[in-house]
A and B are shown apart, each in its own frame.
Chain A
Amino acid sequence: MNVQSDIKGIVRGGQTLKQHRDKIQEDTKATGHYAGLKERALQKEDPILYNKLFSRLRAGVVDARETAKKIAASPIVEQEGELCFTLYNAAGDSILSSTGIMIHVGTMGAAIKYMIENDWEGNPGIADKDIFTNNDPLIGNVHPCDIHTIVPIFHEGELIGWVGGVTHVIDTGAVGPGSMTTGQVQRFGDGYSVTCRKVGANDELFRDWLHESQRSVRTTRYWMLDERTRVAGCHMIRKLIEEVVAEEGIEAYWKFAYEAVEHGREGLQNRIKAMTIPGKYRQVGFVDVPYSHEDVHVPSTFAKVDTIMHTPSEMTIRPDGTWRLDFEGSSRWGWHTYNAHAVSFTSGIWVMMTQTLIPSELINDGAAYGTEFRLPKGTWMNPDDRRVAYAYSWHFLVSSWTALWRGLSRSYFGRGYLEEVNAGNANTSNWLQGGGFNQYDEIHAVNSFECAANGVGASAFADGISNAAAIWNPEGDMGDMEIWELAEPLVYLGRQIKSSSGGAGKYRGGCGFESLRMVWNAKDWTMFFMGNGHISSDWGLMGGYPAASGYRFEAHDTGLKEKIANGDPIPHGGDTDPENPVYDSLINQAGIKRDKQAITTEDMFEDHDLYLNYMRGGPGFGDPLDREPSAVADDVNGGYLIERFAERVYGVILVDGDDGQKVADDAATEAKRADIRKDRLAKAVPTRDWMAKERERILNKDTGVHVQQMYASSFQLGPKWAQEFRDFWDLPEDWDLKEEDLPIPSYGREYSMDLSELPDVKTVKFVEE
């Protein structure tokens, strides 16, 4: 018997939260319009009031973020803006949001919906002035270090909405120090885990929560002030809603809270119609997981394997402006921390859309309702096992999404929106992380966020800008060195634009930058690396080159103490040309680690050891041979391009100018470019011949085990995709590639148990599986 209908719910009008959400879902499904709103009455009858509400509320959440972030002590919140506040209607659908880490518009919404579906209303109860906290990736969070504070908003005793605030904390008490660690391979090592827990009432946090949470992480002071930042921001927004309701009336606010979502859905549809060309767009992303290396220490032998993660995608744009994104063929989740929940995967795509397709003030869950997703269950972005670790889901999120920029950009290009084209996003790494005892002799963890300022992909109109942004936060910033040195026992010996890190092209990708850090005033200190190394995780567009991939440089037992005392030359500035390194000749050779192993686990560092933090560039657009020769000279003069690539990649011959700067020799450049073009033709092979040769390799399985494993995993989860692969390469029907036949472990291949199989748990399904 369903007794709920007899109980008076807390939502305005008397519904329970569950009844309210069900009704909205039902009406949306029946009409194709959010909450069945075929007409938006408030907007139609009083457009001024509607616009005023929007502008006022939006400004309010923006201001709450700007103000609240000053409370924090963590530089990644205060300086990098790694926080976000969002206003939701009673059903947990977002109405509007501040800027910042906007992926959490979706993840906090998912947390609210989890509370709704699992009857938090009945137990533990939802009352005015309650405070809830969540960081659970199993129900939609990106990774455990993004902590959500969620506060319900009541009016005259009835719930009229929610406000959520999120900050990225520096440490969540995972196996290793830092927020996005590598050493664990299951979620039980991911750190402190909180599932929509009621942590406060009457606007006050419970003492048991404070005691437990503050000792569950390494960086307690950051944790405390981050929490206050979130709570204060939520309370500011709640106050604003109370004022707006008092001035404009609850009826207007209530209508607005639903109409705005439908307006957002329609807005996306209109933009798709205006900006794109209907059809199917296919693209793919890859990233390396090089775990067999000796510097990757994990607890389980079955995780000590080199694998490649794979995300093919098919984007279908229909003439009416609706669209569908299908990720069939993606790899299975793995024993590493790079898995993602479906909500974080789709919310991140929404974030990307806000940067290119719908950069308007009308950004809310409407766009999510306007997008159909299919993520096969069991893939890395929709895992089917509750042991899966998520601490650094970004490792592959960023490389999967870069493919979608390319898809959309082909469409923009076709419509002539050259300025909107973006060749893709940088792989936002390296992440400098680690911990131990810091300069204040306290237990500490560090998580540099310099890589919020990577190179941007080129457009079809101009170069991408350098050291500027991150896919997860367009308002990127590298922060001041003096602030990072407050937070990290590491002094800077260099901060420099990273030459040749942006992809070459007619318009080149923006370059990243690099920071050389010397350990200083640390005790029992560890650090590790994180990012792509063996694989270029973006592609470049229409002849543009991908950005350079990553590498690591660390040096121990450097002898720098003596060299500094003696006034000898020491490494400083950038590692400008890694093929002809300067640093290495100035320090003890034996302690240097310079290789493509861009992912490691905690290693010990002592004072005077070195660590290079290299932020990646963005991909390029168009054939480099079409780039203005003078622009190539500027690139070399400005430190954006290593000189030898001017000739090799761009075909530009440089000579010395009067003022010591390089200038292009136009005649010699023209000749060189003609040679390169001739050379290209000479090397070219008819596609048919090339395919025949490749087909032989496929039939013979003539490729590395990690590549075979990647395909085998995709075939297993994506039968349709496997069939297309066979058809494309004209392979026999019985041709197959199975993980069990490979000489590496594929632990977890056949047995899995999802969160939904736990007693009394109702998971919320957001995508087609």
Chain B
Amino acid sequence: MPLDKKNDRSVQVLGIDAGGTMTDTFFVDADGDFVVGKAQSTPDNEALGLIESSREGLEHWGMNLEEALADIQTGVYSGTALLNRVVQRKGLKTGLIVNAGMEDFHRMGRAIQAYLGFAYEDRLHLNTHYYDEPLVPRHLTRGVMERVDMFGTVVIPLREEMARTAAQELIAQEVEGIAISLLHSYKNPDHERRVRDIVEDEIKKAGKEIPVFASVDYYPVRKESHRTNTTVLEAFAAEPSRQTLKKISGAFKENGSKFDFRVMATHGGTISWKAKELARTIVSGPIGGVIGAKYLGETLGYNNIACSDIGGTSFDVALITQGELTIQNDPDMARLVLSLPLVGLDSVGAGAGSFIRLDPYTKAIKLGPDSAGYRVGVCWADSGIDTVTISDCHVILGYLNPDNFLGGQVKLDRQRAYDAMKEQIADPLGISVEEAAAGVIELLDSDLRDYMKSLISGKGYSPSSFVCFSYGGAGPVHTYGYTEGMGFEDVIIPAWAAGFSAFGCAAADFEYRYDKSLDINIDEDGSADQKEAEATLINDAWAELSEKVLEEFELNGYSRDQVELQPGFRMQYRGQLNDIEIESPIESANGAEDWDKLVDAFNDKYGRVYAESARSPELGYSVTGAIMRGTVPIPKPNIPKEEEGPAEPPKAAKLGTRKFYRKGKWLDAQLYQMETLTPGNRITGPAIIESDATTFVVPEGFETWLDGHRLFHLKEV
């Protein structure tokens, strides 16, 4: 449709996935139809890439940006910038204030951080364990003398002059943020808040603007390693992201948008970019994909899904079991223990843009952890990159079409990649360029496969009971590689794989969640009066949280009656160290009977999660937290449904052949145009299915077919 004509389509939802390499936009109209836009990411000013991606997508609908933005009700952002900053330890220069005498604890880890994310074999294999650099180096850490005990009682009063000195020294070292975490501050926040005020005072006196983050204002939960890491992340990595989001929001407003951006958060809902706890968006991009997979699974009836996403910088895996996301409360991410509610998801810094290097002494091939990101690799002459990347291997081996990268927006030069690969990797190893490139791909594939396997088996499942969804710009290039021999029930690549995380954002609930710590203890045979009193405590907490949730929605223009509230709570047997999260069976708790219903729900779930024999009611119960979640209905994308036709792909879909190298030989791979394939088509490898935004590789020994929902199914033959 010509752009000068008035378009009567009403665009309702915008989903954004700003990856390290590509920025995807996903628009949904009032009928649930959707379109994907793509552009290269522009990390220096993310708004540029975003606007470009939006224009590109809306062009398919014949709309211009201003037209579309005027109607949009809701815009959800997700990105990987924050996570990448953490994985690559490239954050702001952050200072840390802890208890005097404990200045080492942050760099000491928890020792668990030396083997987090390892497969079973390497967890045992001691010589493979290693620590990453701490987020805050020891010389930017200061101690203040004070102690509070586990009950919140002051053992040693705060020595304020030490806080002042600490602040002055850190300011003098030109830190860009200061995190504060004192032992047991979640129980008694006075000292930590006082230190915070002193630090802010000193910053003011120094005439500087340095953000200060006290753990108690952000993540007031027990376990100082988790709490401190998470608080440090706010300073180290989240603040730069807030600036980015502010810019983006501004750029869209300039183009006529009226909505305020929300960001996909770790709990699987979306929050405002102004939210205080922005570290919660550390894995927003990958979460988008998981939410998309869950939505697709719900619509099509897949219960157990292994979600896998490869972008330019990282590989992410999440499991949906029995249609439920797993929420972890003290998860780990980027080999750090954290204290966030997180959709269970694991990530490694290995993607299509990962750099390939040889260890100068051992000639060992090293992948990543840093990456070329949006700059692709040596194959792009203008990238300024001179270290070869995985994408360079793809170009050398014929996986990618150098003339159709991003639909031809970026021209890639195979010879450049070839020469660089020869010099940097192949010659030093004494092998051919093809062998070297294919070896690197094999290495990456086997790494990803092992990782996925360890994750699935580490959670106690077998791939055979899972459907694997593969998406992300580089996902379909490697799907065959990391699923080969795994025995998944099915392997599915949505035709819109490249925009899948953005699709997920568009499908995400608008959800606010508030938590409140409680410390309610009662015996198994507590009296009716006691039970009633406990029920009242919970109910009061719910009421308080509901109010916060409703206020948030009111700010976003939703009336109270539009909000659906779901209370929850966290409970454990008294004395335990782990609680479990329970969705409340009742809307409000009044009286002893309601208390019993909560206890029954807990006992029931406890028996299911662990085993019947693990129930310990005789110890009594502790309620450790109240939860309130509120959602409002929003328009969601429709899943396409078309008739399945013939197995033979239409002639128009065939794009000729390209030389493709795998397992030591060059073969002619049949090329197809993805969008032109029709449901029911069957393709046997070697074949490469191309679209502007992604490339789906079907090597020899594999077959794929396209179903009526425009989902490709890949299997070994």
Q: Report B591-620 CB contacts with A as 1/0, cut-off 8 Å.
A: 000000000000000000111111110010
Is A62 close to B, CB under 8 A? yes
A67 and B610: CB pair below 8 A?
Answer: yes
CB contacts (< 8 Å) of B123 on chain A: these are 99, 474-475
State the CA gap A474–B114 with chains docked (Å): 10
State the CA gap A229–B575 with chains docked (Å): 14
A468 and B129: CB pair below 8 A?
Answer: yes
B150 and A60: CB pair below 8 A?
Answer: no
State the CA gap A491–B150 with chains docked (Å): 9
A231 and B614: CB pair below 8 A?
Answer: yes
Is A646 close to B, CB under 8 A? no
B614 and A479: CB pair below 8 A?
Answer: no
B111 and A467: CB pair below 8 A?
Answer: yes
Q: Report A47-58 CB contacts with B as 1/0, cut-off 8 Å.
A: 010001001101
The distance from the CB of A474 to the nearest CB of chain B, in whole angstroms, is: 5
A520 and B126: CB pair below 8 A?
Answer: no
A225 and B124: CB pair below 8 A?
Answer: no
CB contacts (< 8 Å) of B578 on chain A: these are 70-71, 78
B110 and A480: CB pair below 8 A?
Answer: yes
Is B130 close to A, CB under 8 A? yes
Contact of A567 with B614 at beta-carbon distance under 8 Å, contacts A70-B578, A422-B127 already known = no
Tell me the dominant secondary structure on chain A's binding face: mixed
Is A595 close to B, CB under 8 A? no
Is A203 close to B, CB under 8 A? yes
Is A722 close to B, CB under 8 A? no
A477 and B124: CB pair below 8 A?
Answer: no
The distance from the CB of B111 to the nearest CB of chain A, in whole angstroms, is: 4
Contact of A236 with B100 at beta-carbon distance under 8 Å, contacts A58-B120, A221-B619 already known = no
State the CA gap A547–B210 with chains docked (Å): 43
CB contacts (< 8 Å) of B145 on chain A: these are 570, 572
A71 and B614: CB pair below 8 A?
Answer: yes
CB contacts (< 8 Å) of B460 on chain A: these are 59-60, 62-64, 66-67, 240
The distance from the CB of B229 to the nearest CB of chain A, in whole angstroms, is: 11
Is B457 close to A, CB under 8 A? yes
Among B100, B149, B610, contact of A491 (Cβ-Cβ < 8 Å): B149
Q: Report A259-300 CB contacts with B as 1/0, cut-off 8 Å.
A: 000000000000000000000000000000000000000000
The distance from the CB of A240 to the nearest CB of chain B, in whole angstroms, is: 8
CB contacts (< 8 Å) of B103 on chain A: these are 496, 573
The distance from the CB of B360 to the nearest CB of chain A, in whole angstroms, is: 14
Contact of A513 with B104 at beta-carbon distance under 8 Å, contacts A68-B610, A469-B129 already known = yes
Query: Total interface residues on A, using CB and 8 Å?
Result: 88
Q: Report B119-133 CB contacts with A as 1/0, cut-off 8 Å.
A: 011111111111100
The distance from the CB of B530 to the nearest CB of chain A, in whole angstroms, is: 20
A481 and B224: CB pair below 8 A?
Answer: yes
B127 and A73: CB pair below 8 A?
Answer: no
State the CA gap A721–B616 with chains docked (Å): 55
Contact of A481 with B105 at beta-carbon distance under 8 Å, contacts A66-B458, A359-B125 already known = yes
Contact of A73 with B150 at beta-carbon distance under 8 Å, contacts A359-B122, A477-B112 already known = no
Among B155, B157, B612, the one with the most A-chain Cβ atoms within 10 Å of its Cβ is: B155
The distance from the CB of A402 to the nearest CB of chain B, in whole angstroms, is: 13
A572 and B614: CB pair below 8 A?
Answer: no
State the CA gap A513–B108 with chains docked (Å): 9
A62 and B126: CB pair below 8 A?
Answer: no
Return the chain A residue nearest B119 by Cβ.
A361
CB contacts (< 8 Å) of A67 on chain B: these are 460, 609-610
B223 and A483: CB pair below 8 A?
Answer: yes
State the CA gap A560–B495 with chains docked (Å): 70
Contact of A469 with B126 at beta-carbon distance under 8 Å, contacts A59-B456, A73-B576 already known = yes
The distance from the CB of B596 to the nearest CB of chain A, in whole angstroms, is: 22
Among A63, A73, A459, A639, the one with the most B-chain Cβ atoms within 10 Å of its Cβ is: A73
CB contacts (< 8 Å) of B108 on chain A: these are 466-467, 478, 495, 497, 513
Is B487 close to A, CB under 8 A? yes
State the CA gap A456–B115 with chains docked (Å): 14
The distance from the CB of B225 to the nearest CB of chain A, in whole angstroms, is: 5
Is B138 close to A, CB under 8 A? yes
State the CA gap A638–B139 with chains docked (Å): 9
CB contacts (< 8 Å) of A480 on chain B: these are 110, 222-226
Contact of A478 with B110 at beta-carbon distance under 8 Å, contacts A75-B577, A231-B613 already known = yes
A224 and B619: CB pair below 8 A?
Answer: yes
A483 and B120: CB pair below 8 A?
Answer: no
B613 and A481: CB pair below 8 A?
Answer: no
The distance from the CB of A632 to the nearest CB of chain B, in whole angstroms, is: 17
Interface residues of A in 559-573 (CB under 8 A from B): 564, 567, 570, 572-573
Among A71, A361, A485, contact of B150 (Cβ-Cβ < 8 Å): A485
The distance from the CB of A74 to the nearest CB of chain B, in whole angstroms, is: 8
Is A486 close to B, CB under 8 A? yes
Interface residues of A in 225-251 (CB under 8 A from B): 225, 228-229, 231-233, 235-236, 240
CB contacts (< 8 Å) of A64 on chain B: these are 460
Is A586 close to B, CB under 8 A? no
CB contacts (< 8 Å) of A56 on chain B: these are 457, 462
Return the chain B residue nearest A453 by Cβ.
B111
Among A55, A75, A231, A420, contact of B127 (Cβ-Cβ < 8 Å): A420
State the CA gap A14–B115 with chains docked (Å): 45
CB contacts (< 8 Å) of A221 on chain B: these are 575, 619
A516 and B101: CB pair below 8 A?
Answer: yes
Among B101, B127, B487, contact of A356 (Cβ-Cβ < 8 Å): B127
B110 and A482: CB pair below 8 A?
Answer: no
CB contacts (< 8 Å) of A363 on chain B: these are 124
Is A419 close to B, CB under 8 A? yes
Is B109 close to A, CB under 8 A? yes
B610 and A482: CB pair below 8 A?
Answer: no
A481 and B125: CB pair below 8 A?
Answer: no
State the CA gap A235–B607 with chains docked (Å): 12
Is A355 close to B, CB under 8 A? yes
Q: Report B554-598 CB contacts with A as 1/0, cut-off 8 Å.
A: 000000000000000000010111100000000000000000000
Interface residues of A in 487-507 (CB under 8 A from B): 491-497
Q: Report A412-426 CB contacts with B as 1/0, cut-off 8 Å.
A: 000000011010000
A232 and B110: CB pair below 8 A?
Answer: no
Is B464 close to A, CB under 8 A? yes
B457 and A59: CB pair below 8 A?
Answer: yes
B150 and A639: CB pair below 8 A?
Answer: no
Q: Closest 9 A-B residue pairs measured CB to CB?
A: A63-B460, A59-B457, A572-B101, A359-B125, A494-B101, A232-B611, A232-B614, A573-B101, A70-B578
Instruction: Give the interface of B toward A (CB within 8 A).
Output: 99-105, 108-112, 114-115, 120-131, 138-139, 143, 145, 147, 149-151, 155-157, 159, 183-184, 222-226, 453, 456-462, 464, 487, 573, 575-578, 609-616, 619
A58-B457, A469-B129, A483-B223 are known; give 10 further A-B pairs, CB within 8 A: A71-B576, A102-B124, A203-B613, A221-B575, A475-B112, A475-B115, A480-B110, A492-B102, A492-B147, A574-B104
Q: List 18 A-B contacts (CB under 8 A).
A: A59-B456, A62-B120, A71-B616, A225-B619, A231-B614, A235-B611, A235-B612, A355-B125, A420-B127, A468-B109, A468-B114, A468-B131, A477-B110, A478-B109, A478-B110, A482-B222, A494-B102, A497-B104
